[in-house]
Amino acid sequence: MFIDTHTHLFFKNFDEDRYEVIKNALAAGVKYMIVPGTDIETSRQAIELADKYESVYAAVGVHPHDTKDWDDNLIDELRKLAKHKKVVAIGEIGLDYFYDFSPKDIQQKAFDKQIQLALELNLPIVIHNRDSNDDIMEFARKYKDTPLKAQYHCFAGTVENARELVEMGHFISFTGNITFKKADSIREVLSKVSVENILLETDSPFLTPVPFRGKRNEPKHIPIIAQIVAETHHLRVEDVARTTSWNAYKLFGIGKKMNLSHTYQIGESLYVNVTNRCNADCVFCDRKGEAVINGYSLKMSRAEEPEAETYISEIGDPAKYKEIVFCGYGEPTIRWEVVKEIAKYVKENGGKTRMNSNGHGNFINKRDITPELNGLIDSVSISLNSTSAEQYAKLMRVDETLHAEMIDFAKRAKRFTKIVMSIVGLSSVDTENAKQFVTNEIGVDFREREYF
């Protein structure tokens, strides 16, 4: 299932066959479409479409092109329109210094007022940006400490901008322009942003993707965009569909939450969610929150934790996958006996195994479990988090002694399996430091996470 988060279906050139266009979108797997207005009149039309078609939702707002006659009273009109139950955002709004149809100061004022309306109504915003990067980023920073969440539609910023926006919890949205020949810079951004922060949109009738350029764009072309995202991130199209649909659910409340997954496939690997429990409580971990990875819900109470047979039957033929990875929002060694039973099955049936761990397995099991890795777990990925015990303890909200515990685990385990240690989100200096530490002090492989 896909969601086209930005399509101007009210455009005149859909008048002849709008129903067909929506039907073709549904047939292509595009289950929902969000139609953003660009002024009061088209916002009304977007709502009319939402009323008429179950799969259509609306956003209401005044586009920067249409702000030259801006009047603060328009906010009252928008507020009334936004109360409609199928209005899911304020948009599209923003800045456009390329066409400059409206004076910059008026564009900024209209943008600001509409952001405040979104905050008042607790709605996300849909942002248009053309040649106005610096000011768009200033607005993002201004509202950084508010609950405001945004879709940066047809993203036009830099990798650094994207990183900053993702850190603020916003979504980066890609259109058919990622298929264009001259779109290297935007494809570069795409390669750096995790799919968990991406939305898909056509911006139809504009920005028709290759190979249909020159023709009218339609929501049915979303799978073409998803295909590029999938290739860029070495994922399957269905991974992109599921993850971006979940993102749209999170931002706009469209669609529904997934059921709990015991095993879940991303790319060519199958992941095994053995537990949601952990001895740590990392500041960056969503274990106690939604616990969703790439659109899969991993939230599981202790009572819901299945036995090994359930996992084994879901795995089926393990040789079908690149690897079977023990990884969820929890520490797998907490259920070490179950992990071993599943791993034994996988190894006996020609599969490969990997375990993502915090390296506290000996502490948790109150004995040295590392010899038991032998022949069962082909590799263990351990998050180093920090080379300093003090910082480690703060990040993971654990006792400082667990830093040495984790290092000891890695040193012991490397005799029985391949160990890879990784670190995320640090400066290049710290990364170099961590690399030296891991390769020289611990004597195992180091991997740097490539995207944010």
137 binds, among Zn ion, ligand SF4, none (CB under 5 to 8 A by kind): none
128 binds, among Zn ion, ligand SF4, none (CB under 5 to 8 A by kind): Zn ion
CB nearer to ligand SF4: pick between 62 and 384: 384
- 12: exposed, middle or buried (Cβ count in 10 Å: 0-12, 13-18, 19+): exposed
Contact between 102 and 39 under an 8 Å Cβ cutoff? The reply is: no
Residue of 157, 77, 84 whose CA lies nearest to 123: 84
Q: Which amino acid is at 223?
A: P
Q: How far is the CB of 342 from Zn ion (least distance, A)?
A: 48
Question: Which residues contribute to the site for Zn ion (CB under 5 A)?
Answer: 92, 128, 203
Residue count at the site for ligand SF4 (CB under 6 A)?
11
Q: Which amino acid is at 150?
A: A
Taking the mean position of all CA atoms in its chain, how far away is CA 293?
8
285 binds, among ligand SF4, Zn ion, none (CB under 5 to 8 A by kind): ligand SF4
Helix (H) or strand (E) holding 451: none
Q: How far is the CB of 387 from ligand SF4 (least distance, A)?
A: 17
Angle at 10 between CA 8 and CA 12, to 5 degrees: 110
Contact between 205 and 217 under an 8 Å Cβ cutoff? The reply is: yes
Q: How far is the CB of 425 from ligand SF4 (least distance, A)?
A: 13
CB-based contacts of 213: which residues, under 8 Å, 6+ apart? Answer: 180
CB nearer to ligand SF4: pick between 53 and 409: 409
Runs of H (alpha helix) within 273-374:
308-315, 336-348, 361-365
Span interacting with ligand SF4, options 36-44, 265-273, 278-286, 373-381, rule CB under 6 A: 278-286
Runs of H (alpha helix) within 260-399:
308-315, 336-348, 361-365, 389-396
Span interacting with ligand SF4, options 67-75, 139-147, 328-336, 399-407, rule CB under 6 A: 328-336
Contact status: 281 vs ligand SF4 (CB under 6 A): yes
Q: How far is the CB of 396 from ligand SF4 (least distance, A)?
A: 6
Contact status: 287 vs ligand SF4 (CB under 6 A): yes
Binding mask 96-135 vs ligand SF4 (x if CB under 6 A, - otherwise)? ----------------------------------------
Contact between 127 and 114 under an 8 Å Cβ cutoff? The reply is: no
305 binds, among Zn ion, ligand SF4, none (CB under 5 to 8 A by kind): none
Q: Which amino acid is at 112?
A: D
Among 37, 330, 332, 351, the residue binding ligand SF4 under the rule CB under 6 A is: 330
CB-based contacts of 357: which residues, under 8 Å, 6+ apart? Answer: 326, 331, 332, 333, 380, 381, 382
CB-based contacts of 211: which residues, under 8 Å, 6+ apart? Answer: none
258 binds, among Zn ion, ligand SF4, none (CB under 5 to 8 A by kind): none
CB nearer to ligand SF4: pick between 177 and 381: 381
Site for ligand SF4 in 354-413 (CB under 6 A): 358, 396
Span interacting with ligand SF4, options 52-60, 183-191, 249-257, 324-332, rule CB under 6 A: 324-332
329 binds, among Zn ion, ligand SF4, none (CB under 5 to 8 A by kind): ligand SF4
Contact between 252 and 58 under an 8 Å Cβ cutoff? The reply is: no
Q: Could you write out the DSSP letters of every residue in 113-178? A: HHHHHHHHHT--EEEEEES-HHHHHHHHHHTTTSS--EEETT--S-HHHHHHHHHTT-EEEE-GGG
User: Cα dihedral angle (36, 38, 41, 43), rounded to 10 degrees?
Assistant: 20
Nearest-angstrom CA–CA distance, 292 and 98: 39
Contact status: 333 vs ligand SF4 (CB under 6 A): no
Among 210, 285, 389, 424, the residue binding ligand SF4 under the rule CB under 6 A is: 285
Among 329, 336, 345, 409, the residue binding ligand SF4 under the rule CB under 6 A is: 329
CB nearer to Zn ion: pick between 170 and 233: 170
Contact status: 449 vs ligand SF4 (CB under 6 A): no
Binding mask 131-160 vs ligand SF4 (x if CB under 6 A, - otherwise)? ------------------------------
By 3-state DSSP, what share of the chain in percent is helix, strand and coil, each rounded to 5?
A: 45, 20, 40
Contact status: 424 vs ligand SF4 (CB under 6 A): no
Span interacting with ligand SF4, options 86-94, 210-218, 281-289, 338-346, rule CB under 6 A: 281-289
Span interacting with ligand SF4, options 26-34, 277-285, 294-302, 369-377, rule CB under 6 A: 277-285
CB-based contacts of 371: which residues, under 8 Å, 6+ apart? Answer: 416
Interface residues with ligand SF4 (CB under 6 A) are: 278, 280-282, 285, 287, 329-331, 358, 396
